[in-house]
Amino acid sequence: MALQTQPCRISCISFPRISCCLLLVLLFCTVCPNRSQAEVASKTSVKALGSSTKGSATKEDSAKGSSSRAQGVRPTSEDSATTEVDEQIVALINRQIRSAWDENGLHPSKRATDAEWCRRVYLDLLGRVPTVEELDSYTVGKNRSKRQALVDRLLGSEYHNEYVDNWSTQWTNTLIGRTGGRMRRSLISRSGMEQYLRSSFQKNKPYDQLAVELISATGSADPKEEGFNGAVNFLVEKLDDDGIQATTKTSQIFLGTAVQCTQCHNHPFNEYRQNQFWELNAFFRQARVQRTRDPEDENRFFGRIVDQDFAGEGLELYRDDRSEVFLVERNGKLVDRDKERLNAAPVYYELRNGQVRVAYPVFVDGTSLVEKFSEQGAEYGNSGYLENVNRRQELAQLLISVPDFDQAIVNRTWAHFFGYGFTKPFDDMGPHNTPSHPKLLDELSQAFRGAKFDLKTLMRWIVLSEPYSLSSRISRTNAKDDPTLGVSPQFSRFYVRQMQAEQLYESLLVATHADETVKEERRSMLKERWLRQFSTAFGTDDNAEATTFNGSIPQTLTLMNGELVNRACSTGSGSFLDKIANDSSLSNREKIGYLYRAALARFPSKEEIKVCNSLLASRDGDLVGTLQDIWWAVLNSNEFILVH
Amino acid sequence: MQKFPTPQGMSRRHFLTHLAGASALAAPAFSLTQALTAQAATIKRNQKSCILLWMGGGPPTIDIWDMKSGTPTGGTFKPISTAGEGQITELLPKVAKQMHRLSIVRSMSTREADHERGRYYMHTGYVPNPNVQHPSYGSVVAHELASNRRELEIPPFVSIGGASEGPGFLGMAYAPFQVDSNGRVRNAKANVEEARMMDRVQLLNVLERRFVRENRGSAAVEHAKVLQSTLSLLTSNQMEAFKVQDESEANREWYGNTGFGRGCLMARRLVETGVPFVEVNLGGWDLHQNCATGLQTKLPEVDQAMSALVDDLAIRGLLENTTILWMGEFGRTPRINGDAGRDHWARSWSVVVGGGGIQGGKVVGATNKDGTQVTSEPYSSEDLMATVCRAMGISLDRTFKASNGRPMKIAGGGKVISELFG
């Protein structure tokens, strides 16, 4: 449904060049009093659009899209061409970003070179640098819309598996951190989480569905267990201590708000109150974690989330042993007057002054379950009985219906591609943290909802936008646009940022063609082992962790002397460097050029060639040894490790 | 490929001399050669240092330093007398004998009872703020003192067995150098021999400089700086300071055969080498369940290591120049919960300080009968930092310009806890 409503929503606000027939639809849309009419209207709009698109949003697709919620705008990966709607959204981004440049007296940097942009987009979409072959085939192209053509390819079926790998990894790290499931006695199955995400991204599952599944999941965390549901891994270790972490992380990840401080006191900078934390927390209190020991390994536990009746904090489940029951008439029916009150399941929290307060499920926008179920009785919504209310399922539906949900994912995704979101940090939004581009964030979020929460579509808009196309070189006219100085990012240049450890790993594999020789299983085992060394868990109940892959000395030491780069620099027979050294079709200069393109997506400068030649001379013409030195230097450079 | 470990005897000076003189190609934008002027590694006496013993997770100080025995909140352990003013838990008998050298501040009162926020606040003196990354105290001290220690070839801020907090707007050059307590620094040996490493670094310099010159912002520059620090470390004899396994068996036993024990021993070695700020991490204090049982395993480890550290520093004459600070991100609830644990509590808790001119044997501040309120002047993270600065001879008038241009007072305007100075 939502693809169709998308043009309506934003067009009303900011599309001067929209076609007449669309505008009519829009007007209809804005006046239609209820949802079903809006749906009719938006279907019409799709037809109007379908006639002018380049064959991708065919009637058949839109029919599919509207008939099944599970299928996104682009139900299959094959169907991945950029549409006119997409172009309109890209134009919207460009217009809003530009107008902020004008307001701030900024001129953007030049466009990035083709090669720079190509490297960037491979890293951000697929999590690795392009191969020399991919880079060359892109840079030789003369087609004016070749950037769009490349994005279509990277988001299409050809690269779908790599896309799935990359985004499963990204989301695994988001949902359970880099240490989740990697510690002894952990209930989390990292591979269970990955499996779930992989199959979700494989189907290009809409983001709202993903969120609902993660928040309300029940079942076993481990793929080997009966009733496996990988989605439970998100919450399986966050429900201890009354579900404080479940509350905090759900809020942070899916609503973009940092509420952890409000568990103890009102937020110091905004209007979040302590009661809101506990009212949100109350939604998680029917969820229980069951743990069983692995019969084969006493240090391993399997976790499972189940929903159970919740009596309320400190209360026993109510057993009805009343000798008298009062019946009253409600909506023409006789009902038990006290039933709901007796079923109500409260949670309690303590104010800083020691007073104790009570909380029932109320969502952050003020919607309470009591209101929602008011027709069933005054306190029905506060019931902890599953037969009355499943609190997490209610939460999931409330959560995906608010604009904060859309804004959180748009901000997160934007930050993935630009290094900065519209707020700093991107998951601490709220009245205390004014976004750099409030209107753009708002409209892009609505458009994303309109596009049925299709993540590939959102990514397409972002990578095809003008700010994403800019060089990372600072010019005299935009030096003040520097978020490291504490100012709001204006995206007038591409902010250089460091690769993630995962990106480095994949890049090295691809650059040295090691991905072609090592079997998939062994590859992921080796990768897992390598990644572990960087993460430290604080061992606290919030599962906090830190990484030494943060540009500090331990990271530099790893790149200089560690096994991964050492292996990439191998000169054994059949190795990457050995093959290049012995490739008789390439001159020495071309060999060096190949290494530079593989790592840096550029040719060596004159000065660099000179140094390389003097290295060759100092090594008495030992070509493979010299190539090894060059490769080592290139892989250790700032230019390699930075996305630019 | 053949592997030649970097020869033990190779000094950084030697390495850099080669590098600088090797060819016209070596003309780095960042000064790798600058350090040539540094004198050989002779560590001056009287250099101030700070050792932070970081109790990650929030230790139940009501069970350790400010006991409420006989009250409902008092817990199971008994207090014992010490060589100083106050009583402490019976599980720290060795530390008790060192308490004439350490003082307890019992009137800490803070607001952040979330781990991440508490950790940030207690390490920086600021609550998290979206617009500025505050430097941790370790980075601040490193920044203030490292410039006068040109002979120091290893990082001025070392964090053992934990991540600490970052350098914020001071930049990655002041980031904590994170190491394990086993004394092995990962990947600290080059895979190739010295001459070849030099060749490689020459080309690397050219690449690094080119990218910095293209004016792509601070990340490229920071990388170059960290590269310089790494090369300095890679070729330094001072790396010996990390080799805690080289200590005599007697010494290792003295500190205890535990991660924290080795960490404390390494901290002493690093302080001797001139490192101005060392953090030693001991996690596992998040005792929501079975608090007493947890303490029975944790406190003996603390007792052994902390008492040895204080005693050893005193014997070596280093204690007068080395400030010790024991703390976590907050304390734990006086109330014992249904799981026999204690939850997060920031309103009234204790820390321990000593050395570097801070008077030992004192008890500063007090809490009420059940430990739920501070009954004397409350102290904050900023006040502690101000006290440490005073002990280390760092002026409290020092201000930094934060990345957002705002001036930022060292120690965030905290006031020195005056009872701790004579």
What pLDDT is stored for residue A87 in this prediction?
93
pLDDT tens digits, residue range B183-239?
Answer: 889 899 888 988 889 889 999 999 999 999 999 998 999 999 999 999 988 888 999
- Measured between CA atoms, how close is B100 to chain A, in angstroms? 32
- The shortest CB-CB distance from B200 to any of A268, A570, A633 is to A633
- Which of A411, A637, A644 has the highest number of chain B CBs within 10 A, making it the mutation to test binding with B? A637
Tell whether B2 is within 8 A of chain A (Cβ): no
B121 in Cβ contact with B109 (< 8 Å): no
pLDDT tens digits, residue range A135-176?
Answer: 999 999 888 889 999 999 999 999 999 999 999 999 999 999
CB pair distance less than 8 Å for A551 and B172 = yes
CA atoms of A641 and A174, how far apart (whole Å): 22
Region A115-123: what's the mean pLDDT? 97
User: Which residue from A minimizes the CA distance to B24?
Assistant: A611
pLDDT at A50 over 50: no
- Measured between CA atoms, how close is B58 to chain A, in angstroms? 9
Region of A177 please: left (phi>0), alpha (psi -120 to 50) or beta: left
pLDDT at A365 over 80: yes
CA atoms of A497 and A417, how far apart (whole Å): 10
pLDDT tens digits, residue range A456-467?
Answer: 999 999 999 999
CB pair distance less than 8 Å for B230 and A556 = yes
pLDDT at B177 over 70: yes
Write down the residue that tokens 């965390």 correspond to: A221
A546 vs B contacts (CB less than 8 Å):
163
How does residue A515 score in pLDDT terms, banded at 50, 70 and 90? Answer: confident
User: Which residue from B minimizes the CA distance to A563?
Assistant: B187
B191 vs A contacts (CB less than 8 Å):
561, 566
List all residues of chain B from 63 to 102 with a beta carbon under 8 Å from chain A.
none
**Weakest mean pLDDT among A243-247, B30-34, B196-200:** B30-34
How does residue A524 score in pLDDT terms, banded at 50, 70 and 90? Answer: confident
How does residue B45 score in pLDDT terms, banded at 50, 70 and 90? Answer: low
pLDDT tens digits, residue range A320-364?
Answer: 667 777 888 877 888 777 776 677 888 988 876 778 889 999 999
**Strand, coil or helix: B50:** strand
B234 vs A contacts (CB less than 8 Å):
557, 560
Residue pairs between chains A and B whose CB atoms are closer than 8 Å: 209
CB pair distance less than 8 Å for A546 and B163 = yes
pLDDT at A494 over 50: yes
Mean pLDDT of chain B: 88
| Tokens describing residue A136 | 């060359």
B332 vs A contacts (CB less than 8 Å):
none
pLDDT at A47 over 70: no
pLDDT tens digits, residue range A564-592?
Answer: 899 999 999 889 999 999 999 999 999 99
Q: How far is CA B333 from CA A443, B60, B80, B359, in A?
A: 46, 8, 22, 29
CB pair distance less than 8 Å for A551 and B57 = no
What pLDDT is stored for residue A297 in this prediction?
83
Tell whether B182 is within 8 A of chain A (Cβ): no
CA atoms of A51 and A554, how far apart (whole Å): 57
Region B234-246: what's the mean pLDDT? 92
B422 in Cβ contact with B359 (< 8 Å): yes
User: Which residue from A minimizes the CA distance to B230?
Assistant: A553
CB pair distance less than 8 Å for A486 and B189 = no
What pLDDT is stored for residue B411 in this prediction?
87
What pLDDT is stored for residue B4 in this prediction?
34
Write down the residue that tokens 């079942």 correspond to: A219
3-state SS string for B355-395: ECCECCCCEECCECCCCCCECCCCECHHHHHHHHHHHHCCC
| Helix orientation angle between B218-234 and B194-213, rounded to the nearest 10 degrees | 160
pLDDT tens digits, residue range A188-198?
Answer: 999 999 999 99
pLDDT at A240 over 90: no
Tell whether B113 is within 8 A of chain A (Cβ): yes
pLDDT tens digits, residue range B129-145?
Answer: 877 889 999 999 999 99
- Measured between CA atoms, how close is B82 to chain A, in angstroms? 31
How does residue A319 score in pLDDT terms, banded at 50, 70 and 90? Answer: low
SS3 percent helix, strand, coil of chain A, rounded to 5, is 55, 10, 40
**Weakest mean pLDDT among A170-179, A415-424, B32-41:** B32-41
What pLDDT is stored for residue A264 in this prediction?
65
Residue B316 sits at φ, ψ, to 5 deg, of -80, 0
**Strand, coil or helix: A267:** coil
CB pair distance less than 8 Å for B56 and A556 = no
CB pair distance less than 8 Å for B191 and A538 = no
Region A401-422: what's the mean pLDDT? 97
Tell which wins on pLDDT, A529 or B138.
B138
CB pair distance less than 8 Å for B127 and A268 = yes
- Measured between CA atoms, how close is A175 to chain B, in angstroms? 17
- Measured between CA atoms, how close is B81 to chain A, in angstroms? 32
- The shortest CB-CB distance from B115 to any of A544, A560, A566 is to A544
- The shortest CB-CB distance from A633 to any of B204, B218, B219 is to B204
- Measured between CA atoms, how close is A332 to chain B, in angstroms? 46
What are the beta bridge partners of residue B105? B351, B364
**Weakest mean pLDDT among A79-83, A423-427, A530-534:** A79-83
**Strand, coil or helix: B66:** coil
B155 vs A contacts (CB less than 8 Å):
553
**Weakest mean pLDDT among A38-47, A120-129, A245-254, B266-275:** A38-47
A612 vs B contacts (CB less than 8 Å):
203
Tell whether B36 is within 8 A of chain A (Cβ): no
Region B258-285: what's the mean pLDDT? 97
Region A500-507: what's the mean pLDDT? 94
CB pair distance less than 8 Å for B185 and A557 = yes
pLDDT tens digits, residue range B352-371?
Answer: 999 999 999 999 999 999 99
List all residues of chain B from 120 to 139 with a beta carbon under 8 Å from chain A.
127, 130-132
Mean pLDDT of chain A: 84
What pLDDT is stored for residue A269 in this prediction?
59
Is B21 buried (19+), middle (13-18) or exposed (0-12) by CB count in 10 A? exposed
What pLDDT is stored for residue A330 in this prediction?
77
Q: What percent of chain B is predicted at pLDDT more than 70?
A: 89
- Measured between CA atoms, how close is B332 to chain A, in angstroms? 13
How does residue B283 score in pLDDT terms, banded at 50, 70 and 90? Answer: very high
Tell whether B190 is within 8 A of chain A (Cβ): yes
Tell whether B206 is within 8 A of chain A (Cβ): yes
- E strand segments, B136-234: 157-160, 177-179
What pLDDT is stored for residue A219 in this prediction?
97
What pLDDT is stored for residue A271 in this prediction?
62
What pLDDT is stored for residue A30 in this prediction?
37
CA atoms of B300 and A496, how far apart (whole Å): 48
List all residues 6 or more positions away from A360 whose beta carbon is below 8 Å from its beta carbon: A279, A282, A344, A345, A346, A347, A368, A369, A370, A381, A382
A498 vs B contacts (CB less than 8 Å):
219
Of B42, B12, B278, B271, the C-alpha closest to B151 is B42
B109 in Cβ contact with B364 (< 8 Å): no
What pLDDT is stored for residue A535 in this prediction?
85
Annotated domain spans of chain A: 2-111+402-497, 163-400, 501-643
pLDDT at A388 over 70: yes
pLDDT at A609 over 70: yes
User: Which residue from A minimizes the CA distance to B130?
Assistant: A424
What pLDDT is stored for residue B22 in this prediction?
36
Tell which wins on pLDDT, A220 or B1.
A220
CB pair distance less than 8 Å for A637 and B218 = no
Tell whether B216 is within 8 A of chain A (Cβ): yes
Tell which wins on pLDDT, B89 or B27.
B89
| Helix orientation angle between A553-561 and B218-234, rounded to the nearest 10 degrees | 70
A260 vs B contacts (CB less than 8 Å):
114, 116-117
- Measured between CA atoms, how close is A545 to chain B, in angstroms? 9
How does residue A39 score in pLDDT terms, banded at 50, 70 and 90? Answer: very low
Tell whether B389 is within 8 A of chain A (Cβ): no
Tell which wins on pLDDT, A121 or A22.
A121
CB pair distance less than 8 Å for B175 and A630 = no
What pLDDT is stored for residue B109 in this prediction?
97
What pLDDT is stored for residue A298 in this prediction?
81
Is A105 buried (19+), middle (13-18) or exposed (0-12) by CB count in 10 A? exposed
CATH class of B22-31+43-420: alpha beta
B227 vs A contacts (CB less than 8 Å):
556, 636, 638
